[in-house]
Amino acid sequence: MKYHISQGKQSDLNKLDTGYKLTSQRSMAVCLPTTSLLSSNRVHIVTWNVGSAVPPDDITSLFGPHAGDGSIDMFIIGLQEVNSMLNKRLKDALFTDQWSELCMDTLSRFGYVLVASQRMQGVLLLVFSKFCHLPFLREVQTEKTRTGLGGYWGNKGGVSARMMLFGHPVCFLNCHLPAHMRNLEQRMEDFESILQQQQFEGVTASGVLDHDVVFWFGDLNFRIEDYDIHVVKSAIDSNKLPLLWERDQLNIAKNSESILDGFLEGPLKFPPTYKFDVGTHTYDTSSKKRKPAWTDRILWRLRCTGSPVPTHNAALQRGLTSWLGGATKVVQQSYRSHMGYTCSDHKPVSAVFSLHFPFKVDLPLVTLDYEKEWTKVSDATVRFTVRSSFQRSSWDWVAIYKVGFKHYKDYVAYLWAKVDHGSQVTFAEEDLPREAGEYILGFYSNNMNTIIGVTSPFQVRTFSAAGDSSDVSSEDDSTLVLLAPASSRSPSPGKSKRRHRRSRSPAHPNTPIPSLQGLSLHPRSLDGLQSSRLPCSVAKKERLVSPQDTLTSPISPLTPRSPLSPGSGVSAPEALIAAILGEHSPAQVPPTGGRLPGKSGETGL
């Protein structure tokens, strides 16, 4: 049974001023019964050491046979050894890397949106979610810890993303630990160092192990002890894998290392995923003849006590939390390798989990009221209602997204939702989609660094072209104009009433041009010419456009922690130094009149 605890039903519940809808499997006196049981949330995790390889053309099979049926709520992708040669790292710092782009292209087709990303040299973590879940993924932050060369080099270490998932703290940790049989102790020390150093700001679950659920995965590099290579291969060929489980270093360490207390793993029913000759399904035949091992693993850990029901009444909180059944439950539904991929000396590994929460916080902070079909310009008025607990900002905005969008900046158009303009926005004709199809509306909160309200898909019919299109018919399509690259927002809400189509993320108009960082020649579209305020003499000159101005987004379009985001005021030499060290951009200085979109360390959608 589902229930909605509503205020004013009983005297005790009048104090339950949470602003949340709480859904539970258990019934109570104030329940609003329905016919369905509380559904679980399904999370699909992939880990793969890609060995600096170029991505294959198609990775859809990594996401299982049900990627397109909507049965998975979130996809988590952890990669290791993404090509981090100097030239590649500098390019990836300025543009979206190939692996991120491929994952976004693949999953956006099925309605999944990039929520967070974090990269540290070759270690990359990507978090995707159904767009309908975006309002309930809050307090999103990312962290990274270098452990290579005594903590100075990021070829080894861990990257993580944490969030409140329907009111419950969940953390995803992708690690690449030291290699070789002899380095077991170093692996344990590095893992402990990662757990100690990764601290999240301003949240109750400040450490990794403070979260209700932790998923730990990656190239953990644990090996098979004692048996020589012939015994290991013979056991694999004869499908006697349990014989090898007994000598697996991770299985042994779980019984002796306190840092691994509580971590669980499903049975290893697939052959060891390392080391293969690249391009084949044959274990290592080189002169080194590495012994096969299960280096690529996915584990999880549950906290003993679950999150309390959100209420300011301590006694009621304790009662409801106990009554609802306490901790979150995790069930592993599959754990497998993907032996068909041959571009690396490792095989990918994936696992599917069902998360059963004792309650769910699933009431959005903002609801949007809109016409269910847009056939004329007057339909493009959007009204929104905010909960009393939500603090608005003049930097909030409402955007139109085409179904299949990749991340929160992949919009068609947006409008500032300024506090002094009430609770509605109206898109002008020139901002409306030119292509008929399905779209959604999203409300982005600057304070929370995330989308906190979305609509269901609605139909947009083809609108006629703007009336001033004739004014640009004589312009040359290849006209280029000198413009500053975009930064975090544009324009300042108090200085311009101009609406914006997609091509630049919200950025302040007075952002100074950095030292031509990441600039490239890019033809200006006719749409862009319509809104140009530049005189014709300037409009005929070359336009230098930041990579962020193009349709290709930076690796992490979500966060000030993204590596050297174009428009951040970082010079090319600084970008080069940061790329060498595997760092993100140095501390950014906001332009005059502007502010950075969030705290360092936060990655919001």
- Interval 29-42: pLDDT, tens: 222 222 233 568 99
Rounded Cα distance between 407 and 409, Å, is 6
Mean pLDDT, the chain, as a whole number?
A: 76
Q: What confidence score (pLDDT) does residue 20 get?
A: 43
Rounded Cα distance between 296 and 272, Å, is 8
Q: What confidence score (pLDDT) does residue 578 get?
A: 58
Of all residues in the chain, what percent carry a pLDDT higher than 70?
65
DSSP assignment letter at 150: G
Residue pair 4/22 in contact by the 8 Å Cβ criterion = yes
When pLDDT is cut at 50, 70 and 90, the band that residue 272 belongs to is: very high
Q: What confidence score (pLDDT) does residue 150 get?
A: 81
Q: Which helix (H) or strand (E) holds 66?
A: none
Q: Token pair 């603090």 is at which residue?
A: 391
When pLDDT is cut at 50, 70 and 90, the band that residue 576 belongs to is: low
Give the count of alpha carbons within 13 A of 9, CB side only: 13
Assigned token pair, 458 = 């609605």
Q: What confidence score (pLDDT) does residue 2 get?
A: 37
Mean pLDDT of 97-125: 96
Q: Which helix (H) or strand (E) holds 184?
A: helix 184-197
Rounded Cα distance between 146 and 76, Å, is 21
Q: What confidence score (pLDDT) does residue 138 get?
A: 95
What single letter denotes the amino acid at residue 303?
R
Residue pair 403/437 in contact by the 8 Å Cβ criterion = yes
Helix (H, G, I), strand (E, B) or coil at 43: strand
Q: What confidence score (pLDDT) does residue 304 get?
A: 78
Mean pLDDT of 85-101: 77
Widest distance between CA atoms in the chain: 79
Q: What confidence score (pLDDT) does residue 564 get?
A: 33
Distance of CA 478 to the CA centre of its chain: 35
Which CATH architecture group holds 41-361? Answer: 4-Layer Sandwich (3.60)
Q: Tally Cβ neighbours within 10 Å of residue 590.
A: 17
Whether omega before 2 lies within 30 degrees of 0, making that bond cis, reads no
Q: What confidence score (pLDDT) does residue 273 get?
A: 98
Is it the case that residue 9 has pLDDT exceeding 70?
no
Residue pair 291/235 in contact by the 8 Å Cβ criterion = no
Burial class (CB in 10 A: 0-12, 13-18, 19+), 266: middle
- Interval 463-482: pLDDT, tens: 654 444 434 333 333 333 33
Helix (H, G, I), strand (E, B) or coil at 91: helix
pTM for the full model?
0.74
| CA proximity to 395, closest of 488, 486, 504 | 488
Rounded Cα distance between 561 and 141, Å, is 10
What single letter denotes the amino acid at residue 469?
S
Mean pLDDT of 126-131: 98
Q: Which helix (H) or strand (E) holds 442?
A: strand 437-445
Rounded Cα distance between 95 and 251, Å, is 40
Residues 6+ apart with CB under 8 A from 281: 339, 342
Residues 6+ apart with CB under 8 A from 370: 381, 382, 383, 441, 455, 458
Q: What confidence score (pLDDT) does residue 537 get?
A: 35
When pLDDT is cut at 50, 70 and 90, the band that residue 583 belongs to is: low
Helix (H, G, I), strand (E, B) or coil at 237: helix
Report the relative pairing of strands 458-460 and 500-501 from DSSP bridges. Answer: unpaired
- Interval 501-545: pLDDT, tens: 443 344 443 434 333 334 343 444 444 434 433 333 333 333 333
Q: Provide φ and ψ at 258, rounded to 5°.
A: -65, -25
Rounded Cα distance between 168 and 329, Å, is 12
Helix (H, G, I), strand (E, B) or coil at 229: helix
Residues 6+ apart with CB under 8 A from 65: none
Assigned token pair, 466 = 């703007």
Q: What confidence score (pLDDT) does residue 573 get?
A: 52
Buried b (16+ CB within 10 A) or exposed e, 419-440: eeeeeebebeebbbbeeeeebb
Assigned token pair, 193 = 């160092």
Is it the case that residue 14 has pLDDT exceeding 50?
no
Rounded Cα distance between 407 and 451, Å, is 10
Is it the case that residue 226 has pLDDT exceeding 80?
yes
- Interval 374-424: pLDDT, tens: 999 999 999 999 999 899 999 999 999 999 999 999 999 999 999 988 899
- Interval 163-214: pLDDT, tens: 999 999 999 999 999 999 999 999 999 999 999 999 999 888 899 999 999 9
Which CATH architecture group holds 366-464? Answer: Sandwich (2.60)
User: Kindly report the CA angle at 114 between 89 and 163, in degrees rounded to 5?
Assistant: 105
> Where do the structural domains in the chain lie, given as residue ranges?
41-361, 366-464, 476-487+508-605
| CA proximity to 172, closest of 78, 107, 263, 103 | 78
Q: Provide φ and ψ at 482, rounded to 5°.
A: -80, 115
- Interval 31-86: pLDDT, tens: 222 223 356 899 999 999 999 999 999 999 999 988 889 999 999 999 999 998 77
Residue pair 567/514 in contact by the 8 Å Cβ criterion = yes
Mean pLDDT of 566-582: 50
Report the relative pairing of strands 153-165 and 373-374 from DSSP bridges. Answer: unpaired
- Interval 130-161: pLDDT, tens: 999 999 999 999 999 999 888 778 889 999 99
Is it the case that residue 102 has pLDDT exceeding 50?
yes
Is it the case that residue 592 has pLDDT exceeding 50?
no
Mean pLDDT of 271-279: 98
Q: Which helix (H) or strand (E) holds 432?
A: none
Q: Provide φ and ψ at 366, rounded to 5°.
A: -135, 135
Q: What is the DSSP string of 272-307?
A: --B-B-TTSSSB--STT-PPPB--EEEEEEE-SS-P
